[in-house]
Amino acid sequence: MTAPSLTASTLDRSAFDAIAATHPDVVIPLEQTPDWVEFERALGRSPLGIWEYRDVAGALVATASYVHVVRRSRESVVVVNGPVWFAQRTPAAERVLMETVREQFRNHPTAHPLYVRMQVATLQAPATGPIEHGWYEREIVVDLTPSEAGLLKSFRPNARNSIRRAQRNGVTIEHIPREEWKNVFARELFPIMQETAERDGFQSFDSSYYETLLAVLGDHLRLLVAYRDGIPLSWLITTEYRGYAVYYFAGSTHAARSTFAPYLLLWEAFRTLKAAGNTACGLTGIESANYPSLANVTTFKRNFSKNVVVVPTTYDIPLSPVRYRAVSALLAARRAAPAAAGGIVRRASGLVRRSGSGRVSPTAAEM
């Protein structure tokens, strides 16, 4: 017997705020809020709003905020760090939600995605893939409820020693005033991000992304910088929403490592976030099966807590399974062996052309 589908409807800000107020114990990621929708819009992306899902009795099951993404050979709809569950997240409940979402976007008036991407706790049909991973799967979460002394004592000895060594090395921490964020970031901090990306082998956003983040989401952010002798060594941006904080972006120079500046910087961030009433701070992704490249940051983050939280893996929900498999094969062939896979590429490309009928909207970065 098929379970009844859910009722889906969009939420305006007041309706979203009412849901949040009614469920104070549910952790709602900042990426799943109306403020993040405004950030996506300011970047020139195409948010499709926040939707609620209710069962036949009218009880709230989940909410999800969607972004419309268009890239070469595929169009998708992405839920960043969501959905948010308000009912019990069982495998059966997840399947009903996924089926509802699939029908929702098969009939969407403006978006014609190949797939919907979202976090799924139990892999089952219709979820599959993903074509590419879009969010970390494990993170360290620091409990900020102990006293400052208790919090410091909970760190590994290496972290406590490194904090003291940074202080002896003359490292100082500054809270950058909000009115100075854009200029300080562009002038002093983005070059550090570029150095960090080059050293650690990842591609950062351009400066305008971070500057837009600071401008649009300023009510939820803090920008702290570690200096020595007036020279910036390390910086971080934290987010805060409903008592939950996240160590979101950071960059450091080679000199920062030798002076232990990142340890003192993060300790000051914890103290500040705790004083502001936050009860926990997520340190974002650490090493997992799909993200072995996070091994280096894992070593650093483990110094501050033993609390490892598993985050549901991001999967794709294909709206056209045949075409999805063709595009997936095409992309896998391009990544693995473009020259040797010419036949697969040509066959898959032909199927994509024959099956594709989606509209094209302004480009946006895949998440």
Asked whether 83 and 62 are in contact (CB, 8 A), the reply is yes
Specify the amino acid at residue 258: S
The full length of the chain comes to 367
The model's pLDDT over 140-193, given as tens digits with 9 standing for 90+, comes to: 999 999 999 999 999 999 999 999 999 999 999 999 999 999 999 999 999 999
DSSP letter string, 329-346? HHHHHHHH-TTTTHHHHH
Q: Which of 70-84, 89-103, 351-365 has the lowest mean pLDDT?
A: 351-365
Q: Alpha helices, DSSP H only, in 169-260? A: 181-184, 190-200, 207-216, 254-259
Smallest CA-to-CA distance from 52 within 60, 44, 43, 41 is with 60
User: What is the C-alpha to C-alpha distance for residues 338 and 329, in angstroms, rounded to an integer?
Assistant: 12
Q: Return the HEC string of 91-144.
A: HHHHHHHHHHHHHHHHCCCCCCCCEEEEEECCCCCCCECCCCCCCCCEEEEEEC
Specify the amino acid at residue 140: I
The model's pLDDT over 218-269, given as tens digits with 9 standing for 90+, comes to: 999 999 999 999 999 999 999 999 999 999 999 999 999 999 999 999 999 9
Smallest CA-to-CA distance from 232 within 198, 283, 298, 183 is with 183
pTM equals 0.89
